[in-house]
């Protein structure tokens, strides 16, 4: 087994909001059994924004990701909306050729951040009445191909909505 050239040096959450629905009848009885939830395609809308910044002096990258999941009304999910903002510092060894860098940045960086978010959200929702939520797996190659880069105006709007919490360092 060999280690990846790409290493995660730090990771932090800047935001995690979980909004739920109450699915109980008038007597306080739950309408369904408690079990882990995995959203169906037709019941949740997914938004993923990201930003990649290279540090000028070395092969280090600051990668930020904003996740937004909104459940439709027709779904039976206990969840209504989840928003998360997280970022990480990723490093490659000095002298790594550009073609090797392109294999890792940004897709593998985003996959690492998303898997971290999946674990934290599953753990955070584990004691919810409906059981833990497991976010769906996402193809980061498609996310990157779509090119959903967070623009400066979006960052300012998110910062004002979150009372000055910085989701994407500038």
In this prediction, residue 20 carries a pLDDT of 86
pLDDT per residue rounded down to tens, the chain (170 residues): 788 999 999 999 999 999 988 655 545 555 544 455 666 655 788 899 999 999 988 999 999 999 999 988 766 778 889 999 999 999 999 999 999 999 999 999 999 999 999 999 999 999 887 789 999 899 999 889 887 444 444 444 544 444 333 333 32
Domain boundaries, the chain: 31-158
Q: Of all helices (H) and strands (E), which one includes residue 85? A: strand 79-91
Q: How far apart are CA 130 and CA 35, in angstroms?
A: 6
In this prediction, residue 37 carries a pLDDT of 61
Q: Which residues are within 8 A (CB) of 76 and not within 5 positions of it... i.e. 6 or more apart?
A: 23, 31, 32, 43
Q: What is the DSSP string of 8-59?
A: EEEEEEEEEEEEE---B-TTS-BSS----B---GGGEEEEEEEEEEE-TTSS
CB 119, CB 125: distance < 8 Å: no
CATH class of domain segment(s) 31-158: alpha beta
80: helix, coil or strand? strand
CB 117, CB 18: distance < 8 Å: no
Full-model pTM: 0.76
């Amino acid at each position: 087994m060999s280690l990846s050239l790409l290493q995660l040096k730090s990771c932090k959450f800047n935001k995690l909001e979980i909004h739920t629905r109450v699915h109980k009848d008038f007597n306080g009885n739950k309408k369904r059994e408690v079990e882990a939830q995995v959203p169906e395609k037709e019941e949740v809308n997914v938004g993923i924004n990201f930003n990649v910044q290279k540090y000028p002096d070395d092969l280090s990258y600051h990668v930020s990701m904003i996740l937004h999941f909104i459940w439709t009304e027709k779904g039976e999910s206990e969840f209504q909306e989840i928003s998360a903002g997280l970022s990480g510092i990723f490093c490659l060894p000095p002298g790594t050729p550009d073609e090797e860098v392109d294999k890792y940045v940004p897709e593998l960086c985003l996959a690492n951040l998303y898997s971290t978010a999946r674990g934290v959200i599953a753990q955070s929702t584990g004691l919810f009445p409906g059981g833990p939520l497991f976010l769906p797996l996402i193809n980061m190659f498609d996310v990157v191909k779509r090119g959903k880069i967070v623009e400066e105006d979006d960052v300012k709007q998110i910062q004002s909505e979150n009372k000055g919490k910085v989701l994407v360092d500038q």
